[in-house]
Amino acid sequence: MSTITEKSLSPEDRDQVRKIVLKASEPIAPFWPMRTMVAQNPIHGLEYLPFDQAVRKGKELLGGNGYLSNAEYRQFYQNGRITPEGFERAFSRVGPRVDKEDSVAVGSRKITSKNVWQLHVLFGFEELPLSLLDWELNGGGSLKQFRQDLPEKSRKQIIEHTECRDHPEETYLTNLWKSVSAALGQTDLGDSSQTSPAISLPSQRTLSDWIDGLIEGGVVVDQINNQLIKWVAAFLDEGLADWKMPDREEGFYQVWRNLAQKDFSGKLLGIKNFTQKIHSLPEAPEDAIRSSLHQLAIPQEQWEGYLSRQLSLLPGWTRYIQWLEEHPAYHAQQKHPIDTTQYLAVRLFYEVELTNIRCQQEWGIDGTVSSLVAYWNDRSEEYHQRIGQRPSGDPTKQMKCRHAWRLFHLAQFLELSPREIQDLSPTDAQTLLQWLDDFPADQHSPIWIEAYEDSFREKILKNISEHRGKIPELETRPHAQLVFCIDVRSESFRSILKPKALMKR
């Protein structure tokens, strides 16, 4: 890709780029030096957000999970660590809200969206991978035995209303599957795979990361990371290296521009006219950032989020750079300054060049958002297969895996008979499935953690209440009762209270 020569930015425009970089840096919490890093919060920079939003944003950027898996929470529920009462309270506090609760009439019963959502959280009704359908319906035992987590009360209720007494479970499940398949076979569920939204750059990905996800064995992000690690590690050395990087006092971006022109790794990576391209880069890192973002065709309103994702791909180094930027008096930062703006200017240069090389090799197109979007919107079926969202195969089997399988299991936990499923109208069948879609599994975690903490709180409060009256009453009422975790995060409170004789263990 040819380097675009742009008019130098005005001081005001450079300030605007720096403001965008500063905002983009917020989710990347600065932490350093290592000797003081006892306990830290990796999403410290997102503390202004509600907890669930901060955890989701942190997962997008850093890849970590702020919650346990739903399966682990369900095990806590089965073991009694999460109580039914705690779950009910948690669901009422943080569960989905509706202005008017819908219901479906099944025989003499009314099934509400809340009924379905609670069962979905407690037990989970997910679609079945296409490759497992034949096995589950034959050797897997799904038509012979109830799910292991089906409550005993529901088992007894179903068996009592099943006419066959020799093999009631198998009879019920076999007939239920037939009824579900028949009911959905008459229902126009639509093929959601054919009405997918237009393809665009995923919100949680950089261009290089997106390309890697579309290619088996994608290495573009690794190539970029390797270059940045090499240059940043050499620049930030504080006396360990025998061979020191020269001219570091000029700053990271400028010294990289000078030295990279003599670096053969660019040519080995396939970057044509590497030396000339480095030489032609703007002198100011802000100008280089804007030029690269234009070459990648990133819309300006998306610059902040895009730069956040770039910073998140090497979080250890960028957190250190953030710390240095916030501590200009630190001896190393005084001698050879670096900041996130300079870092991004270098990183985006490699992003432009290496994504373009990969796109030309794989698809014969430029490595820009607009080129990739146009290319894959013309090949939408292939695109969804590459990202694993749309399995190819028999549409009837796909319907059974996505819709029939979920309704089959939901019906068991609702204790519905095959006849009741058979009598469901197409609209009601769609409604039940839509409720599952409206509250997908990745939205269940806030309820689970609230229920987990609720059960713990209730236990603590119960123990405190039971302790009342077991010690002599004090002449004066205490200022407060405080409960602390025994770790460094509460030490700052304890160290103040103890000397003032305000705290007794």
Interval 153-204: pLDDT, tens: 999 999 998 887 788 999 999 999 999 999 887 665 555 444 567 899 998 8
What whole-number distance in Å separates Cα of residue 52 and Cα of residue 278?
Answer: 43
Q: How much of the chain, in percent, has pLDDT values that exceed 90?
A: 68
**pLDDT value at 342 more than 80:** yes
Angle between helices 445-467 and 70-79 (to 10 degrees): 30
Amino acid 193: pLDDT: 43
Q: How much of the chain, in percent, has pLDDT values that exceed 70?
A: 92
| Phi/psi of residue 388, nearest 5 degrees | 75, 25
Q: Which has the higher per-residue pLDDT, 331 or 36?
A: 331
Q: What is the DSSP letter of 36?
A: G
390: how many CB neighbours lie within 10 A of its CB? Answer: 19
In this structure, the dihedral spanned by the alpha carbons of residues 15, 278, 312 and 328, taken in order and rounded to 10 degrees, is -50
Domain extent listing, the chain = 11-29+200-386, 97-195+392-438
Q: pLDDT by residue (tens digit) across 28-46?
A: 888 777 666 556 778 888 8
Please report the sign of the dihedral spanned by the C-alpha atoms of residue 240, residue 243, residue 245, residue 247: positive
**pLDDT value at 391 more than 70:** no
Amino acid identity at 184: L
Q: Considering only CA atoms, which of 269, 204, 252 is closest in space to residue 56?
A: 204
> What's the mean pLDDT when you consider all of the chain?
90
Which residues, other chains included, contact 25 with Cβ-Cβ below 8 Å and sequence gap of 6+?
A: 45, 307, 308, 311, 318, 322, 340
Mapping DSSP to helix (H, G, I), strand (E, B) and coil, where does residue 101 land?
Answer: coil
**pLDDT value at 231 more than 60:** yes
Longest dimension (CA), the chain: 87
What whole-number distance in Å separates Cα of residue 292 and Cα of residue 306?
Answer: 12
Average pLDDT over residues 324-331: 94
Q: How far is CA 34 from its chain centroid?
A: 27
Amino acid 331: pLDDT: 93
